[in-house]
Amino acid sequence: MVICMATVKITITLPEEQIAEIRRRVADRESESVSGFVQRSISRTLQNSAEFSAMIDQSLMESGGPLTAKERAWARKMLAPRKKKSAPRKAA
């Protein structure tokens, strides 16, 4: 059985340094083409993300189940960027 995946051509914008590195890797035959490099990179990223999500789900199930609304609110508060406190101004 042969599975054929449809492909769609898109345009992306990358920093010049990344393009140069990808082209170097293609020239060094680490990848067949720029498109091949990008496809493989995206595939690996999606797979890693799915594996990480599964690992988190497994850890949550082993430690009491999904987070409660209260736990999520606490986590958001703890992970939110903190505003820098400005020094009090001195009177002239």
2-59 pLDDT, tens digit each: 666 788 999 999 999 999 999 999 999 999 999 999 999 999 999 999 999 999 999 9
pTM score, two decimals?
A: 0.62
Distances (CA, A) of 86 to 51, 83, 89, 91, 92: 42, 9, 9, 15, 18
Q: 91 pLDDT exceeds 70?
A: no
